[in-house]
Amino acid sequence: MPRTVRDVVFVDGVRTPFGKAGPKGIYHETRADDLVVKAIRELLRRNPGLDPKKIDEVAIAATTQIGDQGLTIGRTAGILAGLPTSVPGYSIDRMCAGALTAVTTTAGSIAFGAYDAVIAGGVEHMGRHPMGEGVDPNPRFVSEKLVDESALFMGMTAENLHDRYPHITKQRADEYAVRSQEKAAKAYANGKIQQDLVPISVRRTNPEAGETGWGLVTADEPMRPGTTLENLANLKTPFRVHGRVTAGNAAGLNDGATASIIASEDFARENGLPVKMRLVSYAFAGVEPEVMGYGPIPATEKALAKAGLSISDIGLFEINEAFAVQVLALLDHYGIADDDERVNQYGGAIAFGHPLASSGVRLMTQLARQFEEQPQVRYGLTTMCVGFGMGATVIWENPHFEGDK
Amino acid sequence: MSTTAELLKGAAELFPGEVVTQAHVRHFDLPLNAGRFALVTLDNGLDHTKPTTFGPQSLANLNAAIDQVEKEAADGDIVGVGITGKPFIFAVGADLKGVELLKRHEDALAIGKGGHEVFKRLSKLAVPTFAYYNGAAMGGGVEVGLHCTYRTVSASLPAFSLPEVFLGLVPGWGGCTLLPNLIGADKAVSVIIENSLNQNKQLKGKQVYELGIADALFEGADFLEQSLIWTASVLKGDIVVERPVIDRGEAWDQAVAKGRFIADGKVHGAAPAAYRALDIIAAAKNGDLQQGYDAEDQALADLIMGGELRAGIYAFNLVQKRGKRPAGAPDKNLARPVTKVGVVGAGLMASQLALLFLRRLEVPVVLTDIDQERIDKGVGYVHAEIDKLLAKGRVNQDKANRLKALVSGVLDKAEGFADADFVIEAVFEEMSVKQKVFAEVEAVAPAHAILATNTSSLSVTEMASKLKHPERVVGFHFFNPVAVLPLLEIVRGETTDDASLATAFAVAKKLKKTAVLVKDAPAFVVNRILTRFMGEIQNVIDEGTPVEVAEKAVEPLGLPMSPLVLLELVGPAIGLHVSETLNRAFPERFTVSPNLKAVVEAGKRGFYVYDSGKPELDPEVAALLKQGDTVLTEEQVRARVLDAVAQEIGLMLEEGVVAEAQDIDLCLITGAGWPFHLGGITPYLDREGVSERVTGKRFLEPGVASVPA
C-alpha cells in the first residue's frame, strides 16, 4: 500500500499559570490531573471546530507517573475532561522533554496516517511529586561508573557544564537571567502570555500560605520582575560551594500543565482549525548524563541536518531555560550573542518556571505567537535539555511567512 | 459591635456544640482585567461527608466577612463579591441541632432575624454579589445565594432544595419571599411546597438553571473558573443577565391555591408548615421584601416552638441515624458472607423478593416452588422487571444480562439450595406449611445457611422449633410494595443466635432497607399497631358509627390514606387474617370484625368504588354491613382510636417487642408511611396528652421530640 507522509501542524496550545512547588505554592492543594484536565477543556473551548469525537489520541507526559500523575494520565485526563470514552490516551515520559515528546511522537503517527488530530501535553506537580520521588537507580550506574554520581542532580550537571565551558561565567549566567525576567515582565505587560493561560481555581486551607478559601490563579507565580544583577549576585550556590548555579539563574521547582492540539494540516484546514506552526523536523540526542545541559546542541545539529537547514535559517528560538548556562552553551556553540533578539523573546523558564514534563508545549505556544507577529520569519525552533543526558529539538515553519521582502 | 453581632453572640451561647463554619475571604484579580474581586468560601473544615451548616457562630463569621468586604466595596477596592462552598458542598442550611435546643420563642425569633440580618447585607453592598452553587445547597444554603445579585450553578450539583416544609419549617431566611419574586410564584411553590412534600425531592444543577434560580450553568470540571470568567464578563457589561418578568397577577394567586391543594393532599391540614409558607408566598406578591422577612421570622419562631417541627426533626434523625445503626443489632463482624440466595415460593411476593436480592446483592438467586409452571412464572416475572429497568435506563444491557443470568428456578430444592447461604421463604401463611418447608430446606442446605421467613404474623420461634438447627432462623418481614417501603422488621426468635442475626442485619444493609430489631411477638410492630388502629375503626363502624364519620375522625392526623383505603391496599383478606392471628393472641384487645369477615367472604377487594372519581362506599358493601345503634362523633372516634394505639404501644414496650419507643416510630414512618409531623406517632400521643391519659406517662422525655423543658 503506497503511503504519503502528511504535513503536521501545531493548531493551538494553552497552559495553566505555573506555580511554585511547596506548601506555600498556589497549587499546593490542587491535583496534578485537575491541572491538565482544565488545560484540555480550555483548548477544546477555544477550538469549537474540533469535534471531540475526532480526537484520535490524548498523549500526556509526566516525569513522576504515580498518584495523581499515574493511572495512565493521558487516558484518565481525557475522561475527566469530558472527552468521549471512544478517545484513547496514554502517558509519556522523557523527563523535561515529556510534552515535547508527546508532540513529536503523535506528530510522527499523524505523518504516518495513524491519527488525524490529537491532544498532546504534559503536567508536573513538583510540589506533590518532588524530583526523584520513588526512583530506584540501578547500583551499576555508580559501581561500573556508567555515569557520574552528579548525573541524577540537575543542578550539579549545570555546574559541570560551567566546568566544561569556563568562559560561561556566573556573571554571564546572571545577566542572562536578569534579561529573562525583564523580557517576561514586558511580555506580560503587552499581554503576550495571558492569552494562552487557563485560569485555575485553587483552594487554600493553610493560613500560613496566605488568604484561605478559594482563589483564582491567572498569572505565573514564580516571576520576579525587577530582578537586578545585585539581587542575584549573593544568592547561595546550593549545588556546589563557590559554584555558579543559583536559584536566580535557573528555573525553579514548579507545578503546571500544558496542552496542545496537533493535527494533520489537511485535517486542520478541513475543520477550520487554525494552523499556527508547521512541523519541519525533530531530533533527540544523548550526551553524557553528567553534562545533560549540553544535550540541545547535538539535538539541534541533528534536527537541522534532517531539515536540510542551517542555523542561519532559524529566525526565532524558544530554548527552555532549565539553567542559564545550558542556554548560553547552545548560543556559544552557534556564535549567537547572549542577548540576540531572536532568542526567547518573551523570556523563559527562569522567569515563568519549569514544571518538567509540561514545558515543551509552553515553548511551542510562545513560538506560535511570535510566528503570528513576525511573518518575515520562516523557521523557528524549540529546544530543551533533558535529564540523564539528552537534548530535544523541534524545528517549525511559520505558516504566516510572507516570503523574503 | 453591631446589633446583628450581639444578636448572634446571644444565640451562640445557647448552642455551645455548634460545628462552626468559617467564611474565608480571599482576594484576586478577575480574568479579562475586570478588576479585584473578593471571594467568600463557606467551609466547616471537615470533609464532604460533614456538610457545611449555619449555626449562630457560623452566621457571625459570615457577618464578619461581610463587614470586611462591605468596607472594601465602599472604598472602591473591589469590583464584586462572590460566595461559594468547600468541595462538593455549597451549604446545607441551618444546623438543626441548634434549633432543637431552643426553648423560648424570643430565642427562636433571634435565629430567624440573625439569618436575615446577615444574608440581606449581601444585597446591599456597593458592588454586585455572586453566589456560585458549586455543590449541595439546601435551606439556608440556597437562601444565602438568593440574596446575591447573580447566581451560577454547577451541572454536577447533586442536590438543591428548600426542604424546610418537609421538616416542619418554612424557608425563613428569605426563601419564601425571594424565590417567588425571582422565578414566579408557580415555580416557587413547586420548589418550596411540592418538592418538599414529595419525599423531599432534590433538584439537580440543570433544573436549578432551567427554573431560573441560577443565571448560568457550568460543568463541574471547571465550574468555579467558568463562573469567575462569567462574573468578569457581567461586571464589564459584556454579558447582560435578563430574567423573565414575573406574573404578579392572577397566576400568583393560582400558584398559591395550587400549593394549598398539594398540601391538603399530603398533610390534610394536619401540619402547619406548608400553610405558613404559602401565606408568606401569597403576601410576597407585593414585592415588599422586608414585610416578607418579618413574616418569615414570625413563622419560623412559631414553628420552632411547635410540636410538629420537633417531631419532624426527631423523625428525620430516626430515619437518618437510628435507621442506619439499628438499636440492638449484634456485632456486625459476626455476619457471615451471603454468596447465594434461595427463595422458597415463586408467587408474587417471592418473585419481588428475588428481584430485590438480585439487584442489591448481585449473587445467584434460586427460586423453587411446587411445579415448573409456577417457577417459570416467577423467573419470568423477574426477567420482565429487569427488562423494565433496562427500558427506563436504570440498568444497562450488560447489567441486565448479568442479573438475568443470576436468577434461576429449579423444582428440586436439593439442587437449588445445596450451596445457598441464605434461604427465605414466602409461602402460604400457615404454621404447618412453613415448618414443613423449613424442614425440607434444612435437609439440603448447608449447615450455616440462614433460614429466613417473611411471615407477617406467625411465631418465628415456633417455626424454628422442629429444626435440628433452630438458631439460624430469623424473621425477615418486608412491607408491600417491597421496592417502595424501606422498613424491614428483623425478628429474633427465642433460639436465634447472634451470628445469624448479624448476617440478617448485614443483608438488610445491602438491601438498603431500614432494619429494626423486633422480638418474636404476634404481628411484630407495624401490623400490630395498624391492626389495633383499624380494629378500633371497624369496631365503631360495627357498633353503629357511619363509615364516613369513622374515616373522617382520623383525618386531622394527616395519615397518607384513610383507614379503609389502607385496608383496600393491604387486601381485606390479609387484614382479616392478621386480625384473627392477633385476636387469638390478645382476644381482650383485638376483635375480628363480622362486617369485615362478610366483606371478605363476599369476595370484595375493598369498601369503595371510584366511579365518580372519588371514593364512595360500594353499595354492595353497604348492603353487607350490619351496624349497631351506637353513633359516635368524630372526636369520640378519634379519642377511642388514639387511646387504643397508645395502650398497644405501651404494652409492646412493656413486653420488650422493641428496645424503645423510637423504634416504634421508625417502623411506622418507614413501614406505614406515617408522617414526620407526627414523629411516627409517639411524639403526637405525648403532645396530645393521650400517652399520659392511657399509660400514666409519656413515651418520650420532654425535649426528645418536643420543646425541651
What are φ and ψ of residue A11, in 5° steps? -85, -50
B328-345: average pLDDT: 95
Q: Per the CB < 8 Å rule, is B222 touching A201?
A: yes
Q: Per the CB < 8 Å rule, is A218 touching B28?
A: yes
Last residue of a domain, which of B474, B501, B519?
B519
Q: Specify whether B486 is located in the same domain as B384.
A: yes
* pLDDT tens for each residue of A342-395: 999 999 999 999 999 999 999 999 999 999 999 999 999 999 999 999 999 999
Q: Specify whether B369 is located in the same domain as B388.
A: yes
CB contact, 8 Å: B46 with chain A?
no
Catalytic residues of A: 96, 354, 385
The three cell numbers of residue A153 are 542532580
Evaluate if residue B633 carries a pLDDT over 70.
yes
Q: Per the CB < 8 Å rule, is B84 touching A214?
A: yes
Query: CB neighbours of B588 closer than 8 A, spacing ≥ 6?
Result: none
Evaluate if residue B702 carries a pLDDT over 80.
yes
CATH code for position B601: 1.10.1040.50
Which pLDDT does position B2 carry in this prediction? 55
Could you tell me if residue B314 is inside a domain? no
Could you tell me if residue B690 is inside a domain? no
Question: Quick one: closest CA in A to B45, which residue?
Answer: A205
B185-191: average pLDDT: 98
How close does chain B come to A37, measured CA to CA in Å? 8
Of residues B98 and B223, more confidently modeled: B223
Which one-letter DSSP state was computed for residue B458? S
Residues in chain A within 8 Å Cβ distance of B222: 37-38, 41-42, 201
Q: Specify whether B133 is located in the same domain as B35.
A: yes
Q: Specify whether B38 is located in the same domain as B154.
A: yes
How close does chain B come to A193, measured CA to CA in Å? 13
Pick B221's closest partner by Cβ from A37, A203, A205.
A37
Q: Specify whether B439 is located in the same domain as B377.
A: yes
Question: Quick one: closest CA in B to A77, which residue?
Answer: B221
Last residue of a domain, which of B638, B656, B674?
B656
Which one-letter DSSP state was computed for residue B318? I
Lowest mean pLDDT among A36-50, A228-242, B280-294, B566-580: B566-580
CB contact, 8 Å: B39 with chain A?
yes
Pick A213's closest partner by Cβ from B26, B30, B229.
B26
Pick B224's closest partner by Cβ from A198, A201, A219.
A201
B334-349: average pLDDT: 94
Q: Specify whether B555 is located in the same domain as B637.
A: yes
Q: Specify whether B157 is located in the same domain as B250.
A: yes
Could you tell me if residue B361 is inside a domain? yes
Q: Per the CB < 8 Å rule, is B31 touching A205?
A: no
Residues in chain A within 8 Å Cβ distance of B219: 82
B171-200: average pLDDT: 96
Evaluate if residue B343 carries a pLDDT over 90.
yes
Confidence class for position B1, pLDDT limits 50, 70, 90: very low
Question: Quick one: closest CA in A to B222, which residue?
Answer: A38
Which pLDDT does position B615 carry in this prediction? 85
Could you tell me if residue B694 is inside a domain? no
Pick A216's closest partner by Cβ from B25, B219, B228.
B228
CATH code for position B193: 3.90.226.10
CB contact, 8 Å: B222 with chain A?
yes
How close does chain A come to B140, measured CA to CA in Å? 20
A72-83: average pLDDT: 98
Evaluate if residue B263 carries a pLDDT over 90.
yes
Q: Per the CB < 8 Å rule, is A204 touching B84?
A: no
Length, in residues, of chain B: 709
With contact defined as beta carbons under 8 Å apart, do B342 and B357 qualify?
no
Q: Specify whether B514 is located in the same domain as B540.
A: no
Which pLDDT does position B587 carry in this prediction? 96
Q: Specify whether B254 is located in the same domain as B216.
A: yes
| Amino acid (1-letter code) at residue B99 | V
Question: Quick one: closest CA in A to B219, which residue?
Answer: A82
Three-state helix/strand/coil letters over chain A: CCCCCCCEEEEEEEECCCEECCCCCCCCCCCHHHHHHHHHHHHHHHCCCCCHHHCCEEEEECCCCCHHHCCCHHHHHHHHCCCCCCCCEEEECECECHHHHHHHHHHHHHHHCCCCEEEEEEEEECCCCCCCCCCCCCCHHHHCCCCCHHHHCHHHHHHHHHHHCCCCCHHHHHHHHHHHHHHHHHHHHCCCCHHHECCEEEEECCHHHCCCEEEEECCCCCCCCCCCHHHHHCCCCCCCCCCCCCCCCECCCEEEEEEEEEEEHHHHHHCCCCCCEEEEEEEEEECCHHHHHHCHHHHHHHHHHHHCCCHHHEEEEEECCCEHHHHHHHHHHHCCCCCCCCECCCCCHHHHCCCHHHHHHHHHHHHHHHHHHCCCCCEEEEEEEECCCEEEEEEEECCCCCCCC
B285-290: average pLDDT: 95
Which pLDDT does position B214 carry in this prediction? 98
Q: Specify whether B227 is located in the same domain as B181.
A: yes
Evaluate if residue A405 carries a pLDDT over 70.
no
Q: Per the CB < 8 Å rule, is A215 touching B39?
A: yes
Q: How many whole angstroms separate alpha carbon B184 and alpha carbon B190?
A: 10
- Picking from B21, B22, B25, B26 by the largest number of A CB atoms within 10 A of its own CB, the best residue to mutate is B26
Last residue of a domain, which of B630, B656, B682?
B656
Which pLDDT does position B6 carry in this prediction? 85
* pLDDT tens for each residue of A297-327: 999 999 999 999 999 999 999 999 999 999 9
**A interface residues, B as partner, C-beta within 8 Å:** 37-38, 41-42, 80-82, 198-201, 203-205, 211-219
Could you tell me if residue B220 is inside a domain? yes
Confidence class for position A209, pLDDT limits 50, 70, 90: very high
Lowest mean pLDDT among A194-208, B614-628, B690-704: B614-628
Q: Per the CB < 8 Å rule, is B228 touching A201?
A: yes
Report the domain count for chain B.
3
Owning domain of residue B612: 526-656
- E strand spans, B258-393: 341-344, 365-368
Which B residues, 176 through 215, put their C-beta within 8 Å of a C-beta on chain A? none
Could you tell me if residue B327 is inside a domain? no
Q: Per the CB < 8 Å rule, is A211 touching B40?
A: no
Could you tell me if residue B391 is inside a domain? yes
Could you tell me if residue B697 is inside a domain? no
Which one-letter DSSP state was computed for residue B54? B
Residues in chain B within 8 Å Cβ distance of A80: 221
Pick B29's closest partner by Cβ from A211, A212, A218.
A218
Q: Per the CB < 8 Å rule, is A213 touching B28?
A: no
Percentage of residues in chain B having pLDDT higher than 70: 100
How close does chain B come to A207, measured CA to CA in Å? 10
How close does chain A come to B49, measured CA to CA in Å? 17
Percentage of residues in chain B having pLDDT higher than 90: 89
- Picking from B225, B228, B396 by the largest number of A CB atoms within 10 A of its own CB, the best residue to mutate is B225
Residues in chain B within 8 Å Cβ distance of A82: 219, 221
B152-179: average pLDDT: 97
B388-397: average pLDDT: 96
Q: Per the CB < 8 Å rule, is B41 touching A203?
A: yes
> Across chain A, what does the average pLDDT equal?
97
Q: Specify whether B512 is located in the same domain as B630.
A: no
How close does chain B come to A197, measured CA to CA in Å? 10
CATH code for position B468: 3.40.50.720
* pLDDT tens for each residue of A121-177: 999 999 999 998 999 999 999 899 999 989 989 999 999 999 999 999 999 999 999
Question: Quick one: closest CA in A to B26, which residue?
Answer: A211
Question: A86-122 burial string, b = 16+ CB within 10 Å, else e?
Answer: ebbbbbbbbbbbbbbbbbbbbbebbbeeebbbbbbbb
With contact defined as beta carbons under 8 Å apart, do B168 and B273 qualify?
yes
Q: Specify whether B17 is located in the same domain as B146.
A: yes
Which pLDDT does position B14 carry in this prediction? 86
Distances (CA, A) of B566 to B541, B575, B625: 16, 10, 19
How close does chain B come to A139, measured CA to CA in Å? 44
Q: Per the CB < 8 Å rule, is A198 touching B225?
A: yes
> Across chain B, what does the average pLDDT equal?
95
Q: Per the CB < 8 Å rule, is A214 touching B224?
A: yes
How close does chain A come to B86, measured CA to CA in Å? 8
- Picking from A40, A42, A214 by the largest number of B CB atoms within 10 A of its own CB, the best residue to mutate is A214
